[in-house]
A and B are shown apart, each in its own frame.
Chain A
Amino acid sequence: HARSRSYVSEFEVCKLESVPLDFGDYHPLKPITVTESKTKKMSRKGSTSSTSSSSSSSIMDPLSSVLDGTDPLSLFAAAADPVTTAAATDGTRKKRDRDDNSAVGSDFEPWSSKRGEILARYTTTEKLSINLYMGSEKGKATTTGSAVSEKVRTRLEELDDLEEGSQKELLNLTQQDYMNRIEELNQSLKDAWSSDQKVKALKIVIQCSKLLSDATVIQFYPSKFVLITDILDTFGKLVYERILSMCVDNRVTLPDNFSPESVNDTAKETCLNWFFKIASIRELIPRFYVEAAILKCNKFLSKTGISECLPRLTSMIRGIGDPLVAVYARAYLCRVGMEVAPQLKESLNKNFFDFLLTFKQIHGDTVQNQLVVQCVEIPLYLTLYSPAIDWILQCIAYRAPEVLLTEMMERCKKLGNNALLLNSVMSAFRAEFIATRSMDFIGMIKECDESGFPKHLLFRSLGLNLALADPPENDRLQILNEAWKVITKLKNPQDYINCAEVWVEYTCRHFTKREVNTVLADVIKHMTPDRAFEDAYPQLQSIIQKVITYIFDFSLLFSVEKFLPFLDMFQKESVRVEVCKCIMESFIKHQQESTKDPVILNALLHICKTMHDSVNALTLEDEKRMLAALINGFIKMVSFGRDFEQQLSFYVEARSMFCNLEPVLVQLIHSVNQLAMETRKVMKGNHSRKTAAFVRACVAFCFITIPSLSSIFTRLNLYLHSGQVALANQCLSQADAFFKAAVSLVPEVPKMISVDGKMRPSDAFLLEFLCNFFSTLLVVPDHPEQGVLFLVRGLLNVIQDYTWEDNSDDKVRIYTNVLHLLSAMTQEAYIYHVDKVDSNDTLYGGDSKFLAEINKLCETVIAQILDHLKTLGKEETLKRQSQLALYFFNTILAHGDLRNNKLNQLSVNLWNLAQKHGFADTKTMVKTLEYIKRRSEQPETSHFTDLALRLPLQSRT
């Protein structure tokens, strides 16, 4: 016996009431605010449309926005480069590097950023050897011999090894083994130091630096330098810190810029001892490196120590005969110098000038013989110099006046425009400096002799500079022409693409699509023969990236004729998908307005199709999600304005293209639903025959698309949502079909569903869905050929048959909510309607037969509830029983007509049941009672007075 209600007046009352009661307000996750306070009276009504529409209307997908910034994962991937990590374990050292360089200024590119690059670039597949004489320092001179050693030799060496216990010679090491060994040495250095074996530590360092005098396997030398100077840095740090700790008087540590006078004698003596010990090292190269490593310790001895030491060490390098070994020694000295005393520029310059003086050695007999033995070509050999010279020049160029740079350039010129130097000048000097003189540089590059350093590297370096700084306006085109003239003549595709990759950026930056098109065409022309592009995917990818960074107007981009043909070069699927992703990301990021440009659409559809087609059974979930997000982003950006039919046909096409990605299908259904609602809005609710047909087409689209989805809940929600849309568009039979489909789907709901990769029980979701569903059913008119409340009955049957969790009360909760629905259905005018759809209130007009049906239904439901309450009579379920009883009581209170005696008695029984076993919350009970009393003061509910009297309040005690 539902009480009759006047929703309008109740709503008025509730509005006033809801101010103090509005506890839903501060819960930001719940979409409903005002209606929340009325949940006691009816099931949630407004929630249906609000949840689903929010997803379709947002322009920027939150997922895709994550992709725009620096993706932490890809950063990891970059850092996890196996070569770098192997040696980059010493994190503290890196940190120190950074700290120390901050004294120089953050604009100075620190060594730590270079080392990884060097390690990755200078590798070898040849076997390496380590020679260590840990016993006596006067071991025989290092005769490492050829690195590629025969088996016999190894055997002999092993025999030697047994005889001389102290000598360790490790042969036939792979590069990785070698690096591990060095790392082991680094560790044993630290161990020796911490166990107070300072002499052993020094010996390790000496032996390590001795390795640097060995230039066999010359390709690996730069990497070897990096590894070993790491050890030297560690050593230098250990010594410095040890002496510093000796200076601690009365627990007062020295300030950073201490003066030698404040250093105590013990510390000074120890420091001096180190220097004496090092000065007596027999061999030149270890003596140099170890002294350079502890250069900083000069601070303890005298103020001018460092400034005296640096020039001496600089000239000491002159004694190193091998020019490559010498130049790296110079680089190390510059590095230490920059770290310890960046103000001392002269020795930097002197280092460079000394290097220039010894430059002729490279073409001398000794070096040439060495190269012949090692089978290394001159151009390759010269590139080995680059890291060291780059570093030296970078140190010199740092905050150097223009005059100095000009002078340096002149000096390089004097050496016959040596390409190697030119290249280093270009990579070390400020980009602006280079850019303003680009034409000069091009001239110089052209004059360089062909034989030595590869020219394409020079153009590459120049291109890198031009990508950073702009050359003078007037020269721009000429520069491009001159450079490209050379680049296009490069025969080797690898050389070519390395150059082109760099110059594309310059082109995109300063020129229009015509030039970009030409450049792309040229790249295609060079890379297509013999499928050369297969070896150049990273470069080609970077070209695409550069192009889309500068041309993000997509209609312009796709009007670059060669862009799509360029994309065709990515024939390896994984790379092609990567490129497509980049393009789509850029599109989503930059495209502000929705578009219907056929060029863009065609091109992007093609790209999206490529991405979609890459999905197969092995694709990871995350990958799929990302692809789907990108495609969704694209779909959202497509709009044909008022041309709804074309829009729909686009969606149809998209559906056929992207059928393997469920999120895309979901998006399409939402989009089509939105389209239908859009149509309705345009027609202001009155569909013409044409629009009605169109809307039905939309609905049909949804109806046939939904079953292809696999997730039950997505399907359920979409059925409901589409049903609501159909209803709103007066497609009653279609809406019925949706609802029927939803009803018949409910039994298939699994017990557990996966949420964010975890398995969760599904009942909460089901409960929410069913409540949602029921509140929609209120306005769904009965089908003329089916019985009264056909859908509600159907749904109830399904709920009845559904296998619920054994110890859950969800079924009863749903039944209680059904009571809310049924009571709402008996009202003369329903609380809400769909515009232009007659609901049951109008259809039946409060027909008594209809009401009787509802009452019958109510009784059945109440009987079910009471049955369930009885089963909860056991000890362990009493609390649940009490809660449910109170919940049910509240329902009756809100919706029932308590003037009915039976109902009145039932409510009193429920009240008692709730309190019976002392599980009721006293506060709630008191509040409920107060509420009843307050209601009894109102005229139409005066019968509450009686009720209140019949409800005893059980005290806790």
Chain B
Amino acid sequence: EVLSGVVVITSKDTVQHQGISLTMEGSVNLQLSAKSVGVFEAFYNSVKPIQIINSTIEMIKPGKLPSGKTEIPFEFPLHMKGNKVLYETYHGVFVNIQYTLRCDMRRPLLAKDLTKTCEFIVHSLSQKGKLTPSPVDFTITPETLQNVKERASLPKFLIRGHLSSTNCIITQPLTGELVVENAEAAVKSIELQLVRVETCGCAEGYARDATEIQNIQIADGDVCRGLPIPIYMVFPRLFTCPTLETTNFKVEFEVNIVVVLHDDHLITENFPLKLCRM
């Protein structure tokens, strides 16, 4: 594909310059979380950025630009470095995939060079083939819970539901339904928690970190028993990308269904998701 656009230069007087060039850069930045490897390690051991793309073109030879507004159109082909893959733009906590376009104007001695940087977004081409839907049914009762200290103190409840698919198209919302069949305690809130799981591989092994991206409340207050409540969540742009697995790092997503009861019991059910772009 080709990145195209215009460089606009506005000035009162004629501008003397020694050439204008465009630089395209793309890289994956990995940051180890302090939690998984310790503060110092995290500070020193940050993994070297992986360059995906880096190329420069000369737009204009040295010369003069007339006063007023000058527009210089450009077209810039995206050429990968070696056999690297062009990942989608992604801004996470520990993994950042960012593409920038820099325009430099070199100027004669006494004047500073002028630079302008601008981020551009890369969306991967839609993957071929059909997405196989993978619906999930779930039932949550006190018995299905793990990680409970005093099972006896739990109020009784039965929550059923299903997700239409855990293989999701990133542009389509996550859908499903949830029914509170019965619950002894009043429901305070039911939320969908979208979590990203970033894994960075490095010399000492790997670091896996889960962080919340967004939290969507789907029920507020003591909902009607037996009435299906829709599960619906739009994936936020920029913070999500198709599930990514490379040798050095992984970006994965999960959704948690969190039921908060009135006595502040927190019930969580976790579902890994696979996101892709179609």
Interface residues of A (CB under 8 A from B): 213, 275-276, 279-280, 282-285, 287, 312, 315-316, 318-323, 325, 354, 357-358, 360-361, 364-366
Interface mask (B220-257 → A, CB under 8 Å = 1, otherwise 0):
11111001111011101100000000000000000000
* Set of chain A residues within 8 Å of B190, measured between Cβ atoms: 319
Contact B234 A285 (CB under 8 A): no
* Set of chain B residues within 8 Å of A322, measured between Cβ atoms: 220-222
* Set of chain B residues within 8 Å of A354, measured between Cβ atoms: 227
Q: What 3 pairs between A and B have smallest CB-CB spacing?
A: A321-B221, A319-B219, A279-B234
**B216 contacts partner chain A, Cβ-Cβ < 8 Å:** yes
Alpha-carbon distance A508/B228, docked complex (angstroms): 51
Interface mask (B176-194 → A, CB under 8 Å = 1, otherwise 0):
0000000000110010000
A31 to chain B: closest CB distance in Å? 79
Name the contact of B224 in the complex, choosing from A279, A315, A358 (C-beta under 8 A): A358
B16 to chain A: closest CB distance in Å? 36
* Set of chain A residues within 8 Å of B230, measured between Cβ atoms: 312, 315-316, 318-319
**B217 contacts partner chain A, Cβ-Cβ < 8 Å:** yes
Contact B224 A318 (CB under 8 A): yes
Interface mask (B31-62 → A, CB under 8 Å = 1, otherwise 0):
00000000000000000000000000000000
Nearest residue, chain B, Cβ from A213:
B220
Contact B236 A319 (CB under 8 A): no
Alpha-carbon distance A183/B13, docked complex (angstroms): 51
**B218 contacts partner chain A, Cβ-Cβ < 8 Å:** yes
Contact B220 A280 (CB under 8 A): no
23 pairs, A vs B, C-beta closer than 8 Å: A213-B220, A276-B234, A279-B173, A279-B234, A284-B218, A285-B220, A315-B228, A315-B230, A318-B227, A319-B223, A319-B230, A320-B219, A320-B220, A320-B223, A321-B187, A321-B219, A321-B222, A321-B224, A322-B220, A322-B221, A322-B222, A358-B227, A360-B224
Residue among B190, B216, B236, B237 with most chain A CB within 10 A: B216
A706 to chain B: closest CB distance in Å? 80
Alpha-carbon distance A283/B186, docked complex (angstroms): 18
A514 to chain B: closest CB distance in Å? 53
A726 to chain B: closest CB distance in Å? 89
* Set of chain B residues within 8 Å of A366, measured between Cβ atoms: 186, 221-222
Contact A280 B236 (CB under 8 A): yes
Contact A284 B237 (CB under 8 A): no
Interface mask (B119-151 → A, CB under 8 Å = 1, otherwise 0):
000000000000000000000000000000000
* Set of chain A residues within 8 Å of B219, measured between Cβ atoms: 284, 318-321
A128 to chain B: closest CB distance in Å? 20
Contact B228 A318 (CB under 8 A): yes
**B214 contacts partner chain A, Cβ-Cβ < 8 Å:** yes
**B21 contacts partner chain A, Cβ-Cβ < 8 Å:** no
Contact B215 A319 (CB under 8 A): no
Nearest residue, chain A, Cβ from B238:
A276
Nearest residue, chain B, Cβ from A321:
B221
Residue among A280, A283, A325 with most chain B CB within 10 A: A280
Contact A319 B234 (CB under 8 A): no
Contact B215 A282 (CB under 8 A): yes
B198 to chain A: closest CB distance in Å? 20
* Set of chain B residues within 8 Å of A285, measured between Cβ atoms: 220
Alpha-carbon distance A574/B222, docked complex (angstroms): 52
Alpha-carbon distance A583/B227, docked complex (angstroms): 58
Alpha-carbon distance A366/B261, docked complex (angstroms): 13
Nearest residue, chain A, Cβ from B188:
A321
* Set of chain B residues within 8 Å of A279, measured between Cβ atoms: 173, 216, 233-234, 236
Alpha-carbon distance A280/B228, docked complex (angstroms): 22
Name the contact of B223 in the complex, choosing from A275, A276, A318, A365 (C-beta under 8 A): A318
* Set of chain A residues within 8 Å of B220, measured between Cβ atoms: 213, 283-285, 319-322
Alpha-carbon distance A282/B191, docked complex (angstroms): 9
Contact B217 A283 (CB under 8 A): yes
Alpha-carbon distance A113/B232, docked complex (angstroms): 35
Nearest residue, chain A, Cβ from B217:
A284
7 new A-B pairs (CB below 8 Å) besides A319-B217, A320-B219, A365-B186?
A: A276-B236, A279-B173, A280-B214, A282-B216, A319-B219, A319-B220, A358-B224
B174 to chain A: closest CB distance in Å? 11
Nearest residue, chain B, Cβ from A282:
B215
Alpha-carbon distance A223/B204, docked complex (angstroms): 63
Alpha-carbon distance A554/B218, docked complex (angstroms): 66
Contact B221 A320 (CB under 8 A): yes
Nearest residue, chain A, Cβ from B228:
A318
A279-B234, A280-B234, A319-B190 given; A325·B224 CB < 8 A: no
Nearest residue, chain A, Cβ from B260:
A141
Contact A282 B221 (CB under 8 A): no
Alpha-carbon distance A413/B217, docked complex (angstroms): 35
Alpha-carbon distance A275/B216, docked complex (angstroms): 14
Alpha-carbon distance A364/B227, docked complex (angstroms): 15
Nearest residue, chain A, Cβ from B187:
A321
Alpha-carbon distance A101/B173, docked complex (angstroms): 33
* Set of chain A residues within 8 Å of B216, measured between Cβ atoms: 279-280, 282, 287
* Set of chain B residues within 8 Å of A361, measured between Cβ atoms: 222, 224
* Set of chain B residues within 8 Å of A318, measured between Cβ atoms: 219, 223-224, 227-230
Alpha-carbon distance A575/B59, docked complex (angstroms): 89
* Set of chain A residues within 8 Å of B221, measured between Cβ atoms: 213, 320-322, 325, 366
Contact A312 B236 (CB under 8 A): no
B180 to chain A: closest CB distance in Å? 10
* Set of chain A residues within 8 Å of B224, measured between Cβ atoms: 318, 321, 323, 357-358, 360-361
A321-B187, A366-B186 given; A312·B232 CB < 8 A: yes
Alpha-carbon distance A364/B186, docked complex (angstroms): 11
Alpha-carbon distance A321/B186, docked complex (angstroms): 10
* Set of chain B residues within 8 Å of A315, measured between Cβ atoms: 228-230
Nearest residue, chain B, Cβ from A311:
B230
* Set of chain B residues within 8 Å of A365, measured between Cβ atoms: 186
A278 to chain B: closest CB distance in Å? 9
Name the contact of B227 in the complex, choosing from A213, A280, A284, A357 (C-beta under 8 A): A357
Contact B218 A319 (CB under 8 A): yes
B155 to chain A: closest CB distance in Å? 13
A705 to chain B: closest CB distance in Å? 77
Residue among A316, A320, A321, A325 with most chain B CB within 10 A: A321
Nearest residue, chain B, Cβ from A369:
B186
Contact A319 B229 (CB under 8 A): yes
Alpha-carbon distance A316/B219, docked complex (angstroms): 8
Alpha-carbon distance A321/B237, docked complex (angstroms): 30
Residue among A357, A361, A365 with most chain B CB within 10 A: A361
Alpha-carbon distance A322/B217, docked complex (angstroms): 15
Residue among A282, A284, A360 with most chain B CB within 10 A: A284
A355 to chain B: closest CB distance in Å? 10
A892 to chain B: closest CB distance in Å? 92
Alpha-carbon distance A315/B223, docked complex (angstroms): 13
A318-B230, A321-B187 given; A276·B217 CB < 8 A: no
B260 to chain A: closest CB distance in Å? 10
* Set of chain B residues within 8 Å of A276, measured between Cβ atoms: 234, 236-237
* Set of chain B residues within 8 Å of A282, measured between Cβ atoms: 214-217
B184 to chain A: closest CB distance in Å? 11
B233 to chain A: closest CB distance in Å? 8
Alpha-carbon distance A365/B221, docked complex (angstroms): 13
Nearest residue, chain A, Cβ from B214:
A280
* Set of chain B residues within 8 Å of A325, measured between Cβ atoms: 221
B237 to chain A: closest CB distance in Å? 6
Nearest residue, chain A, Cβ from B230:
A315
B163 to chain A: closest CB distance in Å? 16
Nearest residue, chain B, Cβ from A316:
B230
A122 to chain B: closest CB distance in Å? 21
B29 to chain A: closest CB distance in Å? 24
* Set of chain A residues within 8 Å of B218, measured between Cβ atoms: 284, 316, 319
* Set of chain A residues within 8 Å of B237, measured between Cβ atoms: 276
